[in-house]
Every structure is written in structure tokens, then in C-alpha cells.
Amino acid sequence: MSSVLVTGAARGLGAAIAERLRGDGYAVVATDLRGAPGVVGHDVRDERGWASAVAALGDAGEPWGLVNCAARTVVRDLFEIEAAEWDDVLATNLRGPFLGIRAVAPLLRARGGGRIVNIASDSAFRGIGVTGAHYAASKAGLITLTRRAAAALAADGVTVNAVAPGTLDGETVRELAGERVPALAAEVPLGRLGSPGEVAAIVAWLLSKEASFVTGATIVVDGGASL
């Protein structure tokens, strides 16, 4: 059975992706900084922690993929961001995927192919948005990292792509936006917020063999909000 590692899988989008992939027949290694049933504790910022996560991926089946979903989302005015918070957001959202790609790539190369999907955000393309500038900057960096990794791994049969969701309906946005949720939905050209399941479906396709000729791409799933 092919195995896939999904970070940030304790709740929200990560949990939806893990559930979808299990339904598609993958052996899923779900990791998260938070403890949760069926989820391996894993701090993506810690280089040493990736060794344990990768070992679990190998034990679960034949390594096939990595989904970098773990992220720290912060709503903060640009000039209210402290340097320590800036560093931590980028450590989680950009350093984490970098470490993950570097850790998992040898397994995929040894297999002769595989898939890496990075969860970016449409905030990478927007000058105004709900999230802080550090979050947006980290996701813009992740899109560039995706393209560089795609070029570096193409000859090994490993595709690397990104998915950039817009605002998704769920507990995270309700915690961060509160009463602004209806207004956020009204700003979307399609007139609603997206669902984690809709994004998970795109991730599942990128992990499939049908997506074998797609690499270095960023698929925006935001109902037209970044147009």
C-alpha cells in the first residue's frame, strides 16, 4: 500500500485531507503539533523531528507522498507584528515544508517517483487580506519553494505542486474572524466560503497517477477571491 505523510492533520483542512486520502486507499501518517487520537506528535520546525515522521512513513507502506499542511495562521496588523512572531510563522509555514521536502525526497527518489503537495494560500497574491503579512509572505515563499523543488526533483519522477485555498468555512476562520465571516463570504465572487473537502479533492488529484504531468503548478481554490 502506498503511504502519504500529512502534516497539520489534527483538525481543519489537514484532517479533511487525511480523511480523503484514507478513503482513496492510502496508508496515511497524520502528524500535528497538537496531540490527537491517531495523530503522531510532530513539530515541523524541528529538523530532528522529521526523522521520526519519515520513519513512520516508511513503516506505514511504500512511501508515495508528502502533504505539507501544517501552518500557523495569525491575524495581525503589519506594524503590530513582533520580530519573534514573524520568525515563528515563517519557521512553521516555510522552514517546515523545506525540511519536509528534504527529508522525504530520498524515499521518493528510491521508489522511482512520488508526489509532494504544499498547502499555500491565496493570501500570497493579495495586498489586502484577513491574515497577517508574515502569513502571506510565508505562503508566497512556499509557492517559490514549490517551483524550485519541482525543478530539482523532476528527473526523479517526483512532482511538486501547491494548492492555494481561499478562506475556508471551519473552526479556524471562525476563531480568527468571528462576526466577520458573513462579510468574508460576501466578498467571494462565487458568494460563499470554500469547504475543506473541496480543497482535499484537489490535493487527492495531485497525488494521483492521473496528475503525473503536472509539476511546479499552484492551483488556486478560492472561489475567485484573488481575481
Share of the chain above pLDDT 90, in %: 84
Instruction: Give all strands (DSSP E) within the chain, no chain letters.
Output: 2-6, 27-32, 40-41, 62-68, 114-119, 158-165, 218-221
State the pLDDT confidence band at 171, using cuts at 50, 70 and 90.
Answer: confident
Q: Report d(CA 79, CA 10) in Å as an integer.
A: 31
Whether residue 211 lies inside any domain: the answer is yes
Residue 53 cell numbers, joined: 515522521
Whether residue 143 lies inside any domain: the answer is yes
Please determine, for residue 170, whether its predicted confidence score (pLDDT) is greater than 80: no
Per the structure, the complete domain to which residue 108 belongs is given by: 2-221
CATH number, domain of 184, equals 3.40.50.720
Q: Is 135 a catalytic residue?
A: yes
Share of the chain above pLDDT 70, in %: 97
Whether residue 226 lies inside any domain: the answer is no
User: What was the pLDDT predicted at 38?
Assistant: 86
What's the domain count of the chain?
1
Whether residue 83 lies inside any domain: the answer is yes
Whether residue 208 lies inside any domain: the answer is yes
- In this structure, the chain runs to a length of 227
User: What was the pLDDT predicted at 35?
Assistant: 74
State the pLDDT confidence band at 169, using cuts at 50, 70 and 90.
Answer: confident
Please determine, for residue 202, whether its predicted confidence score (pLDDT) is greater than 80: yes
Whether residue 67 lies inside any domain: the answer is yes
For 144-157, what is the mean pLDDT?
A: 98
Q: Which of 135, 153, 196, 222 is catalytic?
A: 135
Q: Report d(CA 153, CA 164) in Å as an integer.
A: 21
Q: Report d(CA 167, CA 181) in Å as an integer.
A: 9
Whether residue 161 lies inside any domain: the answer is yes
Whether residue 154 lies inside any domain: the answer is yes
Q: Using an 8 Å Cβ cutoff, are 163 and 221 in contact? A: yes
Q: pTM of the full predicted structure?
A: 0.95
Question: The sheet that has 40-41: what strands, in order across it?
Answer: 40-41, 27-32, 2-6, 62-68, 114-119, 158-165, 218-221
pLDDT tens digit sequence for 114-146? 999 999 999 999 878 778 999 999 999 999 999
Please determine, for residue 76, whether its predicted confidence score (pLDDT) is greater than 80: yes
